[in-house]
Amino acid sequence: MGSDRQEAAQGWAARRTKKNRSKRVITGPSNGAVIYARVSSKEQEEGFSIGAQLDLLRRYATERGFEIVHEFVDVETARKAGRTHFGEMVRFIRSSLTPVTILVEKTDRIYRNLKDYTTLDELVCERDARIHLVKENEVLGREASSHTKFIHGIKVLMAKNYVDNLSEEVTKGQMKKAESGQYPSIPPMGYRWDRGKRSLIHVEQEAAHVRRAFERYATGLYSLEKVAQLCGEDGFASRKGSRISKHGIEGIIK
């Protein structure tokens, strides 16, 4: 009987050790910070850019002595909603053995719904994460006052209301365009508006770049960053005229 118990205990210990080894843990500096930036394709058309957010947050990190350990960027398109890199950031922070600070431009860049609020609040309470809302000059952490948390909660609700209202208005606008026979969104790369007829026209030179980007990525030999580099060398540019970026390629392919 004693031998059976000993073998069972040893088996449990072996399984426990194997389980612990399989967990991916991350160590980092005590002043480590991650950057989170987000923009939609519609906002990009209106002049808002990922680059401006990243420049602001990198400068802020330098001025306050943070060491940037990772940057997470989400570019949302009309074809694909959701925030892949937001989820990656959450997993990264949960896996870190040291507290991580999140640097973000403002409330509506990081919160889209109440689930996001709950998720980030858990990181603050359980992982001792801190959130710096740079443009709002606000820092959220365990020690934040009840008043600060209250005001922050209101801002989150306002951000959610904005998203909900925008979704309603966009849907109504798209339905109206579709009913009148118009393409209901921003033309994909490779197409342009025919201003006179409000219909799409094919732009072969741009479409050729798009096809090459798909073909390269489909081989499995190239990362998004490498595809962007090769496409840039071929002369593929964004609609603003700048060299196509990794995030631009991701928006096209995914």
Asked whether the beta carbons of 224 and 217 are under 8 A apart, the reply is: yes
The pTM of this model reads 0.56
102 φ/ψ angles, rounded to the nearest 5 degrees: -100, 125
| Spatial separation of the C-alpha atoms in residues 27 and 95, rounded to whole Å | 9
Rounded distance between C-alpha atoms, residue 175 and residue 94, angstroms: 41
What is the domain partition of the chain in residue ranges? 32-158, 191-253
Instruction: Examine the pLDDT at 97 and tell me if it is beyond 60.
Output: yes
* pLDDT band with cut points at 50, 70 and 90 for residue 91: very high
Given pLDDT bands bounded at 50, 70 and 90, which one contains residue 17?
very low
Given 3.40.50.300, 3.40.50.1390, 3.20.20.70, 3.30.420.10, which CATH number is that of 32-158?
3.40.50.1390
Q: What local confidence, expressed as pLDDT, does residue 254 receive?
A: 72
Q: What is the sign, positive or negative, of the torsion defined by CA atoms of 69, 75, 76, 81?
A: negative
**Cα–Cα distance between 49 and 52 in angstroms, integer?**
6
Higher pLDDT, 54 or 191: 54
Question: What is the average per-residue pLDDT within 119-138?
Answer: 94
pLDDT at 23: 43
Confidence of residue 240 (pLDDT cuts 50, 70, 90): confident
Over residues 23-46, the pLDDT tens digits come to 444 555 678 999 999 887 666 545
Q: What is the pLDDT of residues 64-84, one digit of tens each?
A: 999 999 999 988 754 444 578
Q: Within 10 A of 44 (CB to CB), how many other CB atoms are there?
A: 21
Least confident among 141-145, 211-215, 218-222, 242-246: 242-246
